[in-house]
């Protein structure tokens, strides 16, 4: 049982984890593996208010307290490395900079800023000379994650963020070495993976993908071909796992994707205990990650083990409320 990454917007000053964040992860150390909420690899990579980073000494120190607490409980924890790309806003960026993306294509939707909800704006397309700098940001973030005591890292290539924007032809209309044919659109992911592997080793690096995720006007003309190719490319590295969000619009053969990767496959997307057991028994997944269920049930492993009822999650506190709806969900022992 894997705890899926969950944005909770509880970071403190300087986007560093607080003691409350430490307690949140400590409570959930019973998971076979915790994958943290996405943590921006640079100031440029930030999209949402109060999300943690992994590029300053204060952020590293805050995360070190988290890893120490989880390890003290016998748990294991990976940090998710994140760059949101176009899903940001000048009000979130340093000096009001435009968010960056593979191409200057605006996302549908709104983002919460210091001035309230704002529509996404047209991003600035990264020039060819800037892309190695972003790859270097991922490598430095991995080095910082290692300093913070993480057992490994997950590269966030899903949910409409920067790597996903490079992968799909609906958001990548470049005509250089990073656009066009699928082998070019996967190049950015390939370079990020290779840079992070140099830090942690392949066996401590995972990748998350979401082939049919369609929020933020994400699309691809042939997702099966695109993501099968990406999975085959990733299969060459001996990664810890491929973590796949199986939610979205349209049909997709996830079994085929799993075969293309060939390694450990983590399934995600609305799984409960019964459906997870079926996926494991049938070979459709090697591991299953749970998001909202872990959010509301710090002792989810015990509840599944003994067939106990689950706490219901309160959506109004997903991204606000400090301790409320964050560290105050009761365990079975407290009921």
pLDDT, tens only, 184-241: 999 999 999 999 999 999 999 999 999 999 999 999 999 999 999 999 999 999 999 9
Instruction: Quickly count: other Cβ atoms within 10 Å of residue 127's Cβ.
Output: 9
Q: Summarize the confidence of residues 14-23 as an average pLDDT.
A: 98
The pTM assigned to this predicted structure is 0.98
Task: Check pLDDT > 90 for residue 291.
Answer: yes
Task: Check pLDDT > 90 for residue 335.
Answer: no
Residue by residue, DSSP assigns 211-280 as TT--GGG---S-HHHHHHHHHHHHHTTT-SEEEEE--SSS---HHHHHHHH-S-EEEESS--HHHHHHHH
Task: Check pLDDT > 90 for residue 58.
Answer: yes
Share of the chain above pLDDT 90, in %: 100
335 against 211, higher pLDDT: 211
Is 161 part of the annotated catalytic residue set?
yes
Average pLDDT value over all residues in the chain: 98
Annotated active-site residue in 161, 271, 326, 329:
161
Tell me how far the alpha carbon of residue 205 is from its chain's centroid: 13
Angle between helices 254-261 and 223-235 (to 10 degrees): 20
């Amino acid at each position: 049982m894997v705890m899926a990454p969950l944005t909770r917007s509880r970071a403190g000053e300087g986007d560093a984890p607080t003691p409350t964040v430490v307690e949140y992860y400590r409570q959930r150390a019973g998971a076979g593996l915790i994958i943290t909420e996405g943590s921006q690899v640079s100031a440029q990579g930030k999209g949402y208010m109060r999300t943690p980073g992994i590029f300053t000494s204060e952020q590293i120190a805050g995360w070190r307290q988290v890893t120490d607490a989880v390890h003290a409980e016998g748990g294991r924890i990976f940090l998710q490395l994140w760059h949101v790309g176009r899903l940001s806003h000048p009000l979130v960026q340093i000096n009001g900079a435009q968010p960056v993306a593979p191409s200057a294509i605006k996302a549908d939707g709104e983002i919460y800023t210091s001035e309230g909800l704002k529509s996404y704006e047209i991003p600035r397309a990264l020039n060819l000379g800037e892309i190695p700098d972003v790859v270097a940001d991922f490598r430095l973030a991995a080095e910082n994650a290692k300093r913070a005591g993480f057992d490994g890292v997950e590269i966030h290539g899903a949910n409409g963020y920067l790597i996903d924007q490079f992968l799909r032809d609906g958001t990548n209309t470049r005509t250089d070495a990073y656009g066009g044919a699928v082998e070019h659109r996967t190049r950015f992911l390939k370079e990020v993976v290779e840079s992070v592997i140099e830090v942690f080793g392949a066996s401590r690096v995972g990748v998350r993908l979401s082939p049919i995720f369609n929020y933020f006007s994400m699309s691809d003309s042939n997702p099966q071909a695109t993501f099968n190719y990406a999975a085959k490319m990733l299969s060459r590295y001996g990664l810890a796992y491929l973590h796949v969000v199986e939610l979205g619009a349209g049909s997709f053969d996830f079994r085929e994707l799993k075969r293309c990767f060939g390694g450990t496959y983590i399934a995600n997307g609305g799984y409960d205990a019964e459906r997870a057991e079926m996926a494991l028994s049938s070979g459709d997944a090697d591991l299953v990650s749970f998001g909202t269920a872990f959010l509301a049930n710090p002792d989810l492993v015990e509840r599944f083990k003994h067939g106990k009822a689950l706490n219901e999650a309160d959506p109004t506190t997903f991204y606000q409320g400090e301790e409320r709806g964050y560290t105050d969900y009761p365990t079975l022992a407290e009921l």
